[in-house]
Structure 1
Amino acid sequence: MMGLQKRTFRSIVNITIVLGAIIMVAACTKTNTDYEPAKTAHAEIQLLKDLPQPKSMTIDSSLKSKEATAMVQTAQRFYGFWNTGNEDLISQAVASSFFDNTLPKGRPQGPKGLLFASSNFRKAVPDLQCTIEDLLVSADKVTARLSFTGTYKGKFMGKTPTGKPVHFFAIDILHFSNGKIVEDWHLEDNLTLMQQLGVVSEN
């Protein structure tokens, strides 16, 4: 009887070890399957060298690398415009039917509004630079977390420039169609910006 119990116990232990090994292999296989496509898609993205480089990118693994690359490069052109004020980049990145869903008061709608905003703000901060902190690409949208820096050198809303640095953040959601940006939603840290420009008191 004792011999039978020992053999039964050994069989149970052996079965447990085998099952454990199977579970571990399955778990490892699932992890590789889940994450490898995303890494592969990210590695295949070809960035435009002379335009803002995303510090971090997250690419939807269901997108083909060609599609994702086109969207990322268009976003680079769009933020290259904000980084330099180069108007040619707007026609390359934005559709003529572009619509701003969060249009600030006094800004024209469409591509003209982008040119208007950049031109006016650069009168106060002529060395404005745009950095892409994060870029998330999914389906037909790109979400960007941005930081803007520059120097307060020109008058803004009647305020005398201080020559001090300006630094604020923004979030964009860009909607793409036929390779271009057709609409966006954006939110800037305007309180911080207005405090740095002396329009709003920091107290």
Structure 2
Amino acid sequence: MSTIEEKSAIEKNKQVVIRFNEEFFGKGNTDITKELLAENFYNHSAPPNAPTDASPMVKFVTGFYSGFSDISVQIQDIFGEDDRVCVRKTLTATHSGEFMGKPATGKKLVTTIFDIEVLKDGKITERWNSTDFPQVFQGL
């Protein structure tokens, strides 16, 4: 691939990741996983003993949207190289309903999230994730 083709492919991959964040995390649209995640998607950051497909992510987002309101995802940084896209984002929300057994507190949640996504043919095939969500959630 030429340098121009490589840059174009990287930009397309970034757009897929941005769209996934806007739809899945920003709007709670779990159906977007069928369009933007590959059939063999592998979540390297799945909880212990959980499936490594998208199902734990879908379950989390569904529960999150029932326990939080005013949800916003802001991408702070996005970088791409070869088939990988790295994102640093901030998620804000208000704890307005029960989530993970914890009753609503009305407090604002602000958490930082780092993702590395691997893409092939316009779909996300692998994902690594790091967040301070557990610590932030305990403080609500």
State TM-score, norm by structure 2. Answer: 0.86
User: Partner residue of 2:100?
Assistant: 157
Gaps (5+ residues) in structure 2?
none
- Cα pair 1:128 1:151 within 8 Å, conserved: yes
User: Partner residue of 2:15?
Assistant: 73
Question: Which of 95, 99, 103 matches 2:38?
Answer: 95
In structure 1, distance between residues paired with 2:80 and 2:51: 28
Q: Count residues with an aligned counterpart.
A: 137
Q: Does the residue aligned with 1:160 lie in a helix, a strand or coil? A: coil
Offset at residue 70 of structure 1 (A): 1.3
* Aligned sequence identity (%): 28
In structure 1, distance between residues paired with 2:134 and 2:56: 21
Distance change >3 Å, CA 63–CA 145, structure 1 → 2: farther
Q: Does the residue aligned with 2:129 lie in a helix, a strand or coil? A: strand
- Cα pair 2:76 2:87 within 8 Å, conserved: yes
Offset at residue 128 of structure 1 (A): 2.2
Is 1:119–2:43 an aligned residue pair? no
- Cα pair 2:116 2:127 within 8 Å, conserved: yes
User: Partner residue of 1:139?
Assistant: 82
Is 1:188–2:131 an aligned residue pair? yes
Code of the residue aligned with 2:89 in structure 1: it is L
In structure 2, distance between residues paired with 1:160 and 1:88: 27
Structure ID, larger Rg: 1
Offset at residue 63 of structure 1 (A): 5.6
Code of the residue aligned with 1:66 in structure 2: it is S
State TM-score, norm by structure 1. Answer: 0.61
- Cα pair 2:86 2:115 within 8 Å, conserved: yes
Code of the residue aligned with 1:178 in structure 2: it is D
In structure 2, distance between residues paired with 1:183 and 1:122: 24
Instruction: Write out per-residue CA displacement over residues 82-105 of structure 1, whole angstroms, 9 at most, x where no aligned residue.
Output: 111112322222111111111124
Offset at residue 111 of structure 1 (A): 2.2
Distance change >3 Å, CA 169–CA 69, structure 1 → 2: same
Code of the residue aligned with 1:75 in structure 2: it is V
- Cα pair 2:30 2:61 within 8 Å, conserved: no
Gaps (5+ residues) in structure 1?
1-60, 198-203
- Cα pair 2:109 2:137 within 8 Å, conserved: no
Is 1:168–2:111 an aligned residue pair? yes
Is 1:128–2:57 an aligned residue pair? no
